[in-house]
Structure 1
Amino acid sequence: MAVLSWKHHTVIQALMARGPLMEDDFRKIYTDFTGKNPSAKQKDFNDFTLKINKELSFVQMELRCCRNQNDGRVYYGLVNNIADEQSKLGTKYSIPQIALFKGIVEAIVQDEAAQGCISTITALNIRLENQVLAAGSQSQDSPPEIPAAIRNFSMSQKDRTIDELIRDKWLSQTTDGDVALGFRSYLDLRSLFHNMGIPPCEVCNESGIKVYYYIHGTI
Structure 2
Amino acid sequence: MDEDCKSSAERQIYPQQMVAAFGDEHRLFLQAIISRRFLEEEELRQCHRDACQKTDVDPGTLSDFVRSVNDKLQLIDLELKKGKDPDGSVYYALVNTRRDAISQLATGYEDHQILFLKHLLELLVDAPEELYEVGSLKILHSLKSIKFTGRKKLSEKDCEEFMNQLVADHWIVEPTKGRYHLSVRSILELKPYLLENFDEIAPCEACKEIIVTKHSEACANPNCPLRMHSSCATLRFARVSLANRNCPSCGEKWVGDWRGQKDDERIAKVRQGGQKKLRGEDEEDGMQNDEEEDE
Query: TM-score higher than 0.5 here?
Result: yes
Rounded to whole Å, the distance in 1 between the matches of 2:114 and 2:144 is 9
Q: 1:83 to 1:90 in 2, by over 3 A?
A: farther
Q: Is the 8 A contact 1:123 1:179 kept in 2?
A: no
SS in 2 for 1:186: helix
Give, as a single letter, the amino acid of the residue that structure 1 aligns with 2:230. Answer: H
Is 1:99 the counterpart of 2:100 in the alignment? no
2 CA distance for matches of 1:97 and 1:180? 17
Tell me the CA shift for residue 80 of structure 1: 1.9
| Larger RCO (CA under 8 A, 6+ residues apart) | 1
SS at match of 1:174: strand
- Partner Cα separation in structure 2 for residue 215 and residue 91 of structure 1: 32
Partner of 2:206: 203
* Equivalent residue in structure 2 for 1:59, among 57, 67, 76: 76
Matching of residue 147 in structure 1 with residue 165 in structure 2 = no
Structure 1: stretches of 5+ with no match in the other structure: 36-42, 133-145
Note if contact 1:204-1:217 (Cα within 8 Å) is conserved in structure 2.
Answer: no
Equivalence for 1:181: 182
CA distance in 2, matches of 1:11, 1:168: 21
Query: CA separation of 1:181/1:170 partners in 2, compared to 1, >3 Å: closer, same or farther?
Result: same
Q: Deviations over 1:150-207 (max 9, x none)?
A: 6x53222212211221121111212253011133212311112222231112333221
Cα distance change on mapping 1:212 and 1:19 into 2, 3 Å: closer
Shift of 1:14: 0.9
Give me the whole-angstrom Cα distance separating, in 2, the residues matched to 1:175 and 1:127: 22
Residues 149 and 66 (structure 1), Cα distance of their counterparts in 2 relative to 1, 3 Å cut:
farther
Partner of 1:161: 162
Instruction: State the distance in 1 between where 2:49 and 2:206 align.
Output: 27
Aligned CA-pair RMSD: 2.7
Q: Is the 8 A contact 2:102 2:193 kept in 1?
A: no
Q: Matched residue of 2:159: which SS?
A: helix
The correspondence for 1:118, drawn from 126, 134, 147, is: 134
Task: Say if 2:195 is the partner of 1:194.
Answer: yes
Contact 1:66 1:187 in 2 (8 A): yes
For the pair 1:82 / 2:98, whether they are aligned, the reply is: yes
Instruction: Give, in whole Å, the separation in 2 of the partners of 1:168 and 1:128.
Output: 25
Contact between 1:193 and 1:207, CA under 8 Å: does it hold in 2?
Answer: no
Residue identity (%): 26
- C-alpha displacement at 1:66, in angstroms? 1.6
- Which amino acid letter does the alignment assign opposite residue 91 of structure 2? Y
Q: Which runs of 5+ in 2 are unaligned?
A: 1-16, 54-59, 217-227, 235-295
Which has the larger displacement, 84-93 or 49-58? 84-93
Residues 148, 191 of structure 1: CA spacing in aligned structure 2 closer, same or farther, 3 A cutoff?
closer
Shift of 1:127: 4.0
| 1:24 to partner: Cα distance | 1.1
**Which residue is equivalent to 1:137?**
none
Distance 1:47 1:153 in 2: 45
TM-score normalised by length of structure 1 = 0.77
